[in-house]
A and B are shown apart, each in its own frame.
Chain A
Amino acid sequence: MSPAGKQDTMNEPRPLYCGRPDTAGLSDSLRDWRSAGMPGGALVLLPEAEKDRLPSIQAVLAAEGIAHVGAIFPALVKDDGFLREGALLLPFDRLPATALIPSLPADAAAAARRIADAVEPHIAGNGTTQSTLFMIFDAMVPTIGSILDALYLRLADRVAYAGVNAGSETFQPMPCLFDSRESVSGGVLCLLLPDGRGAVLDHGYDAPQDIVTATATEGNRVIGIDWRPAFEVYREQVRGLYDVDLNRENFYEYATHFPFGILLANNDVVVRIPVALEDDGSLFCVGEVPANSMLTLLNAPRIDSVRSVNRLAALLREGFGGVGERHLLTFYCAGRHLHLGADSRRELGRLREETRAPALVGALSLGEIGSLTPWGYPLFHNATLVCRPWN
């Protein structure tokens, strides 16, 4: 893990959106930061459509002396909308300790060891939670839930846990995590944010109205539902509800309305959105489902958006003393965005109003890490919003 960089400034640069992140456009946008005092570091969020501009962005930031890390997402979140172009630069007075770990091993315990080895030297040696381990995984990593379990066994309560998945909305492999020198795939970008308050997370999914049972699962694949091949049952259900014939091309679009749910004993539900159809008829999810376990199939779940936003605002007040004048870092699940359609913009608007944040900055995510309770066991989620005041 790279140690925290050095730089203290008199002024406070704000998160910056650059609509034209080529060399000239970005240099121009950085004028605001120059006048406020150039930050020592930055977290860079890029939409997938701008991925080819990454080398020039890295070069401009390097030339300005801004140490940076970042990730590529399907789209950006800015204020009440989703943007497929531009770049968001979130400033740090000084870049916190970071680790860009490429190509995590398939074995989750080994992957967790690599993360813990990078993080552990920078955290407290006792059980005081003084920092937040914010992890941005490549969404193509299939064992994030198991990695979290193994990581928690080792780091325990010495950090708070939060994070999201980056990558392409079409789930095509691509280098989506980067720092000043390189971009990598199949790995994780870790940032140790300097307080132990984590992030708040919620999905607002109601308990499902209709349940079927997934009878065979393996890692992040659902193989069988109700003792029949998974896709066979899934296709029947979608045809009955939407009168749509599922195929490989339209699969993700409809699957967002028809996710799996893992029921918990505390009345919560953990959502798993199927994102791809495998050749053998099994359904591929982002995030594992418990091995060979019963699952529920959530038919067109109703999201109580108001309740969800209210809950997020309450958690932010409780955990962070509110957002205040800070920007609200907001990651919004891409699957939730597809499911809600235009309502997702209204949901962002309500979130901004309810939290009284001057602005939302973030990205569409492909999976989220956190807990539905403020102090809870960290889990890998789909279909949620993850929020945290920025600086």
Chain B
Amino acid sequence: MERERILTVLYDLALVIGGEVDLGALLTRTLQRLLFHTSFPAGVVLLNLADLDGETRAEVATVIGDFDLSRHVGETIALPTSLPRGPAALLRDPSLLRLLPGGATRHACLRLPIDADGVILLLAPSAPATALPITQIFQPVMSNLAKAIALCRSHSAQTRALVEAKAAAESANRAKSAFLANMSHEIRTPLNAVIGLAYLAGRGTVEPGVRAQLEKISQAAQHLLNVINDILDISKIEAGKMSLSESDFQFAAVLDNVIGLIDDKMRAKNLRLATDIDPRLDGVLRGDPVRLGQILLNFAGNAVKFTEHGSVTLSARVLQDDGDGLRVRFEVRDTGVGIGLADRERLFRPFEQADASATRQHAGTGLGLAIARHLARLMGGEVGVESQPGVGSAFWFTVRLQHGLASARRVSHVAPASAISASQCLQTRHAGARVLLVEDNMINQEVAKALLERVGLRVDVAENGVEALEMVGRQAYALILMDMQMPEMDGLEATRRIRAIPEMARVPVLAMTANAFEDDRERCFAAGMNDHVGKPVAPDLLYGTLLDWLERPSSRCTGR
């Protein structure tokens, strides 16, 4: 029987000691089981023993069952060496035990040395009635405990290093995110001036040479904007923060928009454009039309870029329609230079290009295809390429789309109404309407004011939120364009205060800001704004959005 008892207790204690990696938990669980097996009511684990001048200093690591002693946990206490030092033994010297904090009522102590650095003292008001198998059970357990303590300390040091490394990485990531947001804002603000002023100057001159130069300025600015957008997209992908929106749309509108954006370059190269669209895509679909258009534009833009003669064909085929949704394969086929097998394999990796040489002919960040692949995967699909050098390439991607919920007439705009019609509509139907432009940057004030006045709107300018609040108190406005970052009072606070004025509850407030991140949009909507126009402002998009909000009935505006 004694053998079974010893085995059972040893097994129990071994399981406890082997099952913990946290030092505090290890000591607490071990001490609990020792009290359980001995019926001693209290115990203390002393670590980091150091002898000095007849005393032993020890750190009180864990205490159970003695409230007074537990107040010393974490402290170093001095004890007569004869208490913590020595072999495993039952001590019955109350005068010795009294020197332990809270030890006045303790008359017996079972000393269990862990190793040279530590000891467990079990405390009781009197000695136990039965003999305890100290040497058979507790000594082997203590040597295992010493090893477990060393492992816990090592684990703790490693965990601490990992936590510190994680904190440093998170800090660096936060700094990177802040830098990207700041960089985005700082580049978008002057780009807004470049694009806006080039647009206005282009419409103000009939000199072909000057118009061509202004057009090149616009193209260069647009290219720079695309680079920024690609960097932000890849940063979001790396951070796992890229997400899709969902709305009803018509694929025809997405396709028209893509074709409109490559049309000039196609014409300049005298390339033929062909489309082959599955008629089952004629209805209303549900998904993220902006990101779908982004992939198509990337593929089509590359096709135009790398094709000098021949044609570019955009096709779309429904692979599966199970009633709940559709799986669609899109393809952009060109008759361009084609891509070798080795290059094809790394095309979709970030920062990789087929021709990465310093003498390459075609510009680009090498991010577009990587972004396209990630977007396609987010949409439940994949991307791929088939190509033959000298013959051409076919870039394809698949996505899952849902059947739309709305009727064809009520789908969201993918692109603004045609620029001419939007600006013309504004001129014919809303000329004279008074709008408030809240903007602190002088150049951007000039650009926005000129764009708005060009379509016949009357414009008042406030340089910050405080001024804006004063002005809306004096004057009624049909619409307010609000920057986000401004001195004295920012656009979010100004909007919240405007919305608190009962008669201003229905005035459309549109953010016009270089804060172009999704969470910036969310903050604008949360503050009470109705829509968001990012900088640099595309004049056509601005006109389309203004028209949309000025045409709405005077019932309460709803955003998004």
Contacts and interface: CB of A to CB of B under 8 A. Distances in A.
A47 B297 CA distance: 80
A156 B64 contact: yes
Interface stretch (B4-12, B191-199, B480-488): B4-12
B115 to A, nearest CB: 21
A265 B41 contact: no
Contacts of B173: none
Contacts of A152: 64-65
A266 B90 CA distance: 13
Contacts of B124: 375
Interface string A169-180: 000000000000
A264 B36 contact: yes
Interface stretch (B127-135, B302-310, B380-388, B519-527): B127-135
A157 B36 contact: no
A315 to B, nearest CB: 12
B155 interface: no
B8 A377 contact: no
Contacts of B255: none
Interface string A252-282: 0000000000111111100000000000000
A290 B15 CA distance: 10
A242 to B, nearest CB: 24
Nearest to A373: B39
Contacts of B70: 156
Interface string A122-157: 000011000000000000000000000100110111
A249 B224 CA distance: 80
Given A264-B37, A266-B130, A268-B39, A290 B12 contact: yes
Nearest to A270: B36
A266 B35 CA distance: 10
Interface in B25-77: 28, 32, 35-42, 63-70
A265 B137 contact: yes
B94 interface: no
A58 interface: no
B38 A126 contact: no
Contacts of A56: none
Contacts of A264: 9, 36-39
B320 interface: no
B126 interface: yes
Contacts of A240: none
A267 B38 CA distance: 9
Contact of A371 (B39, B129, B132): B39
Given A211-B4, A293-B12, A294-B8, A377 B39 contact: yes
B416 interface: no
A294 B7 contact: yes
Q: Which of A266, A295, A371, A373 has most B Cβ within 10 Å?
A: A266
* Residue from B5, B67, B128 having most chain A Cβ neighbours under 10 A: B67
A170 to B, nearest CB: 30
Contact of B38 (A155, A157, A207, A266): A266
B124 to A, nearest CB: 6
Nearest to B6: A265
A263 B9 CA distance: 7
Contacts of B9: 263-265
B125 A149 contact: no
Contacts of B128: 266, 373
Contacts of A267: 5, 130
Contacts of B358: none
Nearest to B29: A149
B293 interface: no
A149 B39 contact: no
A149 B132 contact: no
A85 B316 CA distance: 83
A290 to B, nearest CB: 6
Nearest to A123: B67
A372 B130 CA distance: 12
Nearest to A292: B15
B28 to A, nearest CB: 7
Given A373-B39, A373-B129, A153 B28 contact: yes
A129 to B, nearest CB: 9
A382 B28 CA distance: 25
B528 to A, nearest CB: 41
A158 interface: yes
Contacts of B5: 263, 265, 267
Contacts of A376: 39-41
Contact of A127 (B7, B35, B102): B102
Interface string B167-211: 000000000000000000000000000000000000000000000
Most chain B CB neighbours (cut-off 10 Å) among A156, A290, A375, A377: A377
A291 interface: yes
B15 A265 contact: no
Contacts of B138: 265
A377 B137 CA distance: 19
B155 to A, nearest CB: 21
Given A263-B4, A296-B4, A296-B8, A127 B36 contact: no
Interface string B265-309: 000000000000000000000000000000000000000000000
B125 A375 contact: yes
Contacts of A153: 28, 64
B8 A263 contact: yes
A379 interface: yes
A296 B39 CA distance: 19
Q: Which of A262, A371, A376, A379 has the most B CB atoms < 10 Å from its CB?
A: A376
Interface string B111-141: 0000000000000111011101100011000
A127 B66 contact: yes
Interface in A30-71: none
Nearest to B126: A375
Contacts of A377: 35-36, 38-41, 65
A327 B129 CA distance: 29
Contacts of A375: 41, 124-126
B41 A157 contact: yes
B1 A293 contact: no
Given A293-B12, A294-B11, A373-B39, A126 B68 contact: yes
Contacts of A379: 36
Contacts of A294: 7-8, 11-12
A266 B132 contact: yes
A266 B65 contact: no
Contacts of B32: 149
Nearest to A379: B36
A101 B66 CA distance: 26
Contacts of A263: 4-5, 8-9
Nearest to B128: A266
A146 B204 CA distance: 83
Given A265-B38, A373-B39, A291 B67 contact: no
B15 A127 contact: no
Interface string B483-520: 00000000000000000000000000000000000000
Given A211-B1, A263-B8, 15 more contacts: A126-B67, A127-B69, A156-B63, A265-B9, A265-B137, A266-B37, A268-B39, A293-B15, A296-B4, A296-B8, A371-B41, A372-B39, A373-B39, A373-B128, A379-B36
23 contacts: A126-B67, A127-B67, A127-B69, A153-B28, A156-B66, A157-B42, A211-B4, A262-B8, A263-B5, A264-B9, A265-B133, A266-B37, A266-B128, A267-B5, A290-B15, A293-B8, A293-B11, A371-B39, A371-B41, A372-B39, A375-B41, A375-B126, A376-B40
Interface of A: 126-127, 149, 152-153, 155-158, 207-208, 211, 262-268, 290-296, 371-373, 375-377, 379
A-B interface, 4 closest residue pairs, ranked by CB to CB distance from nearest:
A376-B39, A265-B37, A127-B67, A156-B67
